Chains A and B, each alone.
Chain A
Amino acid sequence: MLFSNLEDKIDWLEKELNDSSDIASRMIEKGGDKLGLVFIKSMIDNLLFIEGVYEPLLLCENKLNVDVLTEIIKSADVNKISLKESVEKILMGNVVIIFEKDEQCLAIDIQKYPARIPSEPPTSAVLQGPREGFTEDIKTNITLIRRRFYNKNLILKDVFVGKYSNTRVVLAFLKGVADKKLVKEIESKLQKIDIDGIIDSHYIIKFLEKNPDSLFKQVGSVEKPDIIAAKILEGRVAILVDGSPIVLTLPFLFFEEIQASNDYYNSHIYSSFIRVVRLLSILISVIVPGAYIAMRVFHQNIIPIKFLVTITNTTRGLPFTPFLEMLFISLLFQILYEVSLRLPSYLGLATSIVGALILGDTGVKAGLISPPGVIVIALAKIALYTVPEQAYQLTVLQYLFLIVGGSIGMIGIVGLMIYLVVYLSSIDSYGCPYLAPFAPRVKSDLKDGVIMGTTKQMKTRPKSFKNHNLKRQK
């Protein structure tokens, strides 16, 4: 591209940027040298602009060329770029200095925009342990990870995804630990994404999954840097997306959801117990409503007489059939849950009163629903949130088991369980069996399975997926 003067260059840039109203430009002429500064007003640190860029330019007594400016500008990130590249840089919050006589430009990264301070994510609270959480700013997130690896082998690779958003996506992994093929495969998948924009990391999940239509997660999502660091150490690849506090990890195993960061900051005996409780909670939340319906509709003879007497007495005269009753109560809970997510906090108390007293208590007294039904659904819904990351999937499964249990009884429930496990056994996450280390059994990984060993016992990296340098400690 050839331009006769600086104004033409600036005009061209502004046209490239579609004359957007937040684009600003300044021109400085000194000692026969002309240069222009183009930037987006709302994306730069004004103070740093004045003190680090503008003032040094004004006070400079030398010739204003690329090399001199590179030295005098007070910024950590100063890069020489071409005029064509300057469009992208301006959009990223850089100040671009264009020279009249020089084809090269300078891009100065003095980005500043509103961003959250790292705080504890609500779904990963710990009693003891780090409380930092990722934010929407990728730079902060990278910093949080870097702080845990003072090692040159932590590699960060950039990929830009999204035709309009041009979102920065960073792959983080340990060289010599993560599998190279895995990294290449993820990188190529990201590069192949042809989409208009990436708003959140969940947008790219479906592009990374091998079975995108599956109900089950195949890509891990984490909100805390300590967990990411642990996963990177195991040989996984972390994927950071600008604008999203959720960092993705690959490969992903089903049983990762049973593990929580809390487990590693407590006694391993207590952690093992809690993992068993989590597993039982998943089973309870998914199976109990369906099993209850199956017992009432098909298998009354199994119910112990004392339970049967209570259930029969309390369900006598209800207008709904058992299945409809359970569906009704379940939907009530679901509606309450959705409302509680979106309602302002000052209306929260009212919702609790409406939900608990009016719908629950009054519904029972009015003879619309039965106390055992309320207890079963309440228990199931509460148990869902022991593993909040899987809550949505478990909710769908809950309804499936409810339908199957009500339609064909216990054999349907057992059959559906087997079907699910067969299905999960048939999918893999980048060459790693989804149900590892339980199916297939990987003995060495069982130390961090449901029953947890001590940190001392975890001498090797997980063998459930491919990684290098298996030895972690002597």
Chain B
Amino acid sequence: MIKTISVRQTAIIISILLFANKILVLPSLLYEVSKADGFFIILFLLSLEFLILLMFLRLKSLYPSTSFYDILKLKFGTFLAKFFYILLAIYFFYKIMLLFNICYMYFHVQVYIDASYYIFIFAFLVIINSSVLRGIRPIARSIEFFYGFILFCLIFCIALSIANFDKFPIFFDSKLVNFFDGSFRHLFCFGDMLILLVLIDKVDSNNLLKSKSILYFFTSAVIILSVYFMFYSIFDYTAFLHKNAISDIITFSYRFIDLGRLDIIAVIIIMFLAFFQLCLYAYAFIECFIKIFSKLSVVYSMVVFDLLFIFIVFTSLIDYLVAIKIGVSIIPYLSIFLYFLLPLFCIFVKRGGNDDRFF
């Protein structure tokens, strides 16, 4: 029997996945492209993310207990299914490297001035390994356990930043072409909902899945939009200088100067989010890996992942700048295929006599 994660846990995973690097460097990157209209870019991209969620929900209702691999096998055959899973594995691995590098830069600048790279590699690898090997259920439960705390701290960060709020951002000040260009080029920061496709057979089927998923999605979306709104309001013309949005919106309140830097709250939250998101991405990667190389067990797949990770990190093959460069150039095309074309094809196209779940 496949162990399932509950509806609430799924909804919380959806909520947590949304954060990723969207509240770190992305606001500043979007400002460089389209000034305060970066707020609308994020709104637009969140809507696309929402579409992926809806596609997942639809697929789940059509195939309540079939894995995504089996769905792909049904539609495309084994060879193509493995090929798409290879693409997914590459995509998830890229996301791991991107998130790891962004978080490393963030922690290095904020709190770890003199520390070496090895600390982060060790810390992240150990937690990822121990969590993934235990399975998705403990990961989902631990995310559920900390969710209240994470949400509270994020809202607290936004509340603290209100002290610095002075005026609204200047919207609609950039051209439409910048809007679309920015949206396309920054697609690499999105697509976190793809993990749900890999987890589709592990999610509990329930009437409440749709409503809860959407509710938690909107909760996170509102928080993200609030961060962007506060960021563009507080920093206005200097937004491009602030690469750590969630920290910088609280650091500024010099009313609290006696208490020191309150951005420690943001740092701790980003640590939690980084760990959980990396665990989820790693789990998705391992799932894809196991499907591709069906003879490998979870343990050996994990070893392969570790070796690949250590090799790439030590040789700086994908460092911070390279990750962003790949993200801006190659990933948007892969994203469009993986986010939309593949799930839509699975939903709308019936293949073969065995496929009786037809929309």
Contacts and interface: CB of A to CB of B under 8 A. Distances in A.
* Direct interface between A and B, CB < 8 A: yes
Interface of A: 298-299, 301-307, 408-412, 414-415, 418-419, 421-423, 425-426, 433, 435, 438-441
A426 B275 CA distance: 17
B115 A419 contact: no
B134 A304 contact: no
Name the residue among B135, B144, B145 with the largest chain A CB count within 10 angstroms. B145
A309 B115 CA distance: 23
B258 A418 contact: no
B127 interface: yes
Interface in B134-158: 134-135, 137-139, 141-142, 144-146
Given A421-B145, A426-B137, A408 B260 contact: no
Given A298-B112, A419-B130, A439 B271 contact: no
B291 interface: no
Interface in B157-171: none
B272 interface: yes
B126 interface: yes
23 contacts: A298-B112, A299-B112, A301-B261, A302-B111, A302-B267, A303-B260, A304-B261, A409-B112, A410-B111, A411-B271, A414-B268, A415-B124, A415-B126, A415-B127, A418-B127, A419-B131, A422-B134, A422-B142, A425-B141, A435-B141, A435-B145, A439-B142, A440-B144
Contacts of A298: 111-112, 114-115
B2 interface: no
B137 A304 contact: no
B260 A305 contact: yes
Contacts of A304: 258-261
A64 B6 CA distance: 71
A439 B138 CA distance: 9
Contacts of B119: 408-409, 411-412
Contact of B123 (A305, A412, A435): A412
Contact of A433 (B112, B141, B268): B141
B173 to A, nearest CB: 36
Contact of A414 (B115, B137, B275): B275
A306 B260 CA distance: 8
B134 A426 contact: yes
Contacts of B139: 422
B275 A418 contact: yes
B216 interface: no
B271 A421 contact: no
Contacts of A421: 141-142, 145-146
Nearest to B260: A304
A54 B167 CA distance: 100
A418 B145 CA distance: 10
B275 A415 contact: yes
Contacts of A414: 268, 271-272, 275
The 7 A-B residue pairs whose C-beta atoms are closest, nearest first, are: A304-B260, A425-B141, A439-B145, A439-B141, A426-B138, A425-B138, A421-B142
Contact of A441 (B107, B111, B144): B144
Contacts, number: 104
Name the residue among B9, B264, B272 with the largest chain A CB count within 10 angstroms. B264
B1 interface: no
B320 interface: no
A411 B115 CA distance: 11
Contacts of A408: 115, 119, 122-123
A415 B275 CA distance: 7
Name the residue among A410, A423, A425, A435 with the largest chain B CB count within 10 angstroms. A425
A426 B145 contact: no
Contacts of A301: 111, 113, 261
Contact of B142 (A303, A306, A412, A425): A425
Nearest to B126: A415
Contacts of B94: none
Interface string B1-36: 000001011000000000000000000000000000
Given A426-B135, A435-B145, A302 B271 contact: no
Given A440-B6, A440-B144, A418 B138 contact: no
B184 interface: no
A318 to B, nearest CB: 21
Given A418-B142, A422-B131, A422-B138, A411 B120 contact: yes
Interface in B300-337: none
Interface string B275-306: 11000000000000000000000000000000
A121 B285 CA distance: 53
A426 B131 CA distance: 10
A408 B121 CA distance: 11
A304 B264 CA distance: 11
Contacts of A299: 111-112
Nearest to A411: B123
Contacts of A307: 260
A433 B9 CA distance: 14
B123 A418 contact: no
A302 B112 CA distance: 10
Given A302-B264, A415-B123, A415-B275, A409 B145 contact: no
Contacts of B123: 408, 411-412, 415
Contacts of B261: 301-302, 304
A410 B141 contact: no
A211 to B, nearest CB: 13
Given A298-B112, A435-B145, A438-B144, 16 more contacts: A298-B114, A299-B112, A306-B258, A408-B115, A410-B271, A412-B119, A414-B268, A414-B271, A415-B124, A419-B127, A421-B145, A425-B142, A426-B137, A433-B141, A440-B144, A441-B8
A79 to B, nearest CB: 49
A440 B142 contact: no
A304 B259 CA distance: 6
Contacts of B142: 418, 421-422, 425, 439
Nearest to A304: B260
A422 B271 contact: no
Contacts of B126: 415, 419
Nearest to B5: A440
A409 B146 CA distance: 20
A105 to B, nearest CB: 54
A440 B146 CA distance: 11
B119 to A, nearest CB: 5
B123 to A, nearest CB: 5
Nearest to A412: B123
Contacts of A302: 111, 260-261, 264, 267
Name the residue among B123, B124, B146 with the largest chain A CB count within 10 angstroms. B123
Contacts of A426: 134-135, 137-138
Contacts of B144: 438-441
Name the residue among B112, B130, B138 with the largest chain A CB count within 10 angstroms. B138
Given A408-B119, A438-B145, A418 B272 contact: yes
B183 to A, nearest CB: 33
B8 to A, nearest CB: 6
A409 B258 contact: no
Nearest to A305: B260
Contacts of A411: 107, 112, 119-120, 123, 271
B137 to A, nearest CB: 7
A307 B264 CA distance: 15
B137 A425 contact: yes
A441 to B, nearest CB: 6
A174 B107 CA distance: 55
